[in-house]
Amino acid sequence: MTDTKAPRVKRKLPLDPESESWHKLPWRKFEQHVYRIQKRIFRAEQRGNVRAVHKLQKLLMKSRAARLIAVRRVTQENQGKKTAGIDGVKSVHPKQRLEMVDQLHPKRIKHRKPQPVRRIYIPKPGKAEKRPLGIPVMFDRSQQHLVKQALEPEWEAKFEPNSYGFRPGRSCHDAIGAIYIQINKKAKYVLDADLKGCFDNINHEALLQKLKTYPTLKRVIRAWLKAGYVDNGVFEETPSGTPQGGVVSPLLANIALHGMETALAEAYRPKEGKPNFVRYADDFVVFHPTEEGIFKAKAVVETWIKDMGLEMKPSKTRITHPTGCATRCQQASGEAEVDLGGEQVILWHTDGVLRE
């Protein structure tokens, strides 16, 4: 009879007092508390009470529950939690997390200067070119998440209905569903457009003016935008753009592009027919029954985005038609394809069905 070894039982080492106190915190209660304040911010913005919005945002940022959640999200839950900034910090001990929570109080960070982000490059799927990312240090990421908790409910009450990218409760598939609704009954001309270096070229002053937030928060956001980046040990200034890789950057990009759909709708008279618009982050599509209407939409959008320091990317901007009708830009042979948030959506209109 062969001897069998008993399975090894891994003994869990006892946690140190700081780790134990961190894990025993009532996280569910903290989330409920923050959610209640965010709901009040949302409703105050819907009523148009700007003073109440700013007062509640200050209350949320002073809240210990919101600061604890911000630190936990950045150091333990986010996908990039092990990615270091220029200080090389990849992980934070529970004792340091609690110290970070105290340092995040608005009174203590009012005069703190943010550190530059670390520039790294990641490959774009299926392409030879690389995407530049800016990785802030751990403390700045926690501060950005705290600010995001305060700003997001205000802007969720204002954002346009057909904006789907980087918003809570919305996804790329919601945008695809919105496209289906537009063309499942009748084929329309399509403007498929992408913005050239959206995150890198947003005009700082135009963005800050659009934010219309209280002075202290405006100074904090301006400091992030002007912090610069370090690429291979060389510091570079950032005269424009918001670092693609920061926690709050997707929200700031959505704020910069807010109003595009409204400006497009107001440019048309009732007789011309209203265009239909779907946007996912910096990718958007416009639908209109006529070719003249879609060329007008392109001109309106180009004029509008100039104020934000942006322009369309010619290689990714085209006009097509799902039925294969000839346009001045392209001869489509029964099939049209649009790029939405990295998803290739193939459209054709033979039996009234959008296929992907």
> What pLDDT was estimated at residue 343?
56
More confident residue, 9 or 296: 296
Q: In sequence order, what DSSP letters do the residues of 2-31 get, joined into one string?
A: ---PPPPPPPPPPPPHHHHHHHTS-HHHHH
Tens of pLDDT, residue by residue over 252-282, are: 999 999 999 999 999 999 888 889 999 998 8
Per-residue pLDDT of 86-95, as tens digits, reads: 999 888 999 9
Q: Where are the alpha helices (DSSP H) in 48-164?
A: 50-62, 64-72, 94-103, 106-109, 138-156
Place of tokens 């989330």: 31
Counting every residue, how long is the chain?
356
Largest CA distance in the chain: 92
Q: Of 154-158, 340-344, 351-355, which one has max mean pLDDT?
A: 154-158
- pTM for the whole structure: 0.87
Predicted confidence (pLDDT) at residue 356 exceeds the cutoff of 50? no
The Cα 230–Cα 221 span in angstroms is 19
Tokens of 84: 């270091």
Q: What is the pLDDT of residues 36-54, one digit of tens each?
A: 999 999 999 999 999 999 9
Residue with the two structure tokens 């695809």: 176
Specify whether the CB–CB gap between 319 and 327 falls below 8 A.
Answer: yes
What's the Cα-to-Cα distance from 71 to each of 61, 87, 140, 264, 272, rounded to whole Å?
13, 17, 10, 40, 51
Helix (H, G, I), strand (E, B) or coil at 244: coil
SS3 category, 24: coil
- Of the listed ranges 25-29, 55-59, 172-176, the least confidently predicted one is 172-176
Helices 249-257 and 204-211 meet at what angle, rounded to 10?
A: 80
Residues β-bridged to residue 319: 191
Round to whole Å and give the CA distance between 135 and 301.
31
What is the C-alpha to C-alpha distance for residues 344 and 36, in angstroms, rounded to an integer?
Answer: 38
Ranges 104-118, 135-149, 155-169, 199-213: which has the least confidence: 104-118
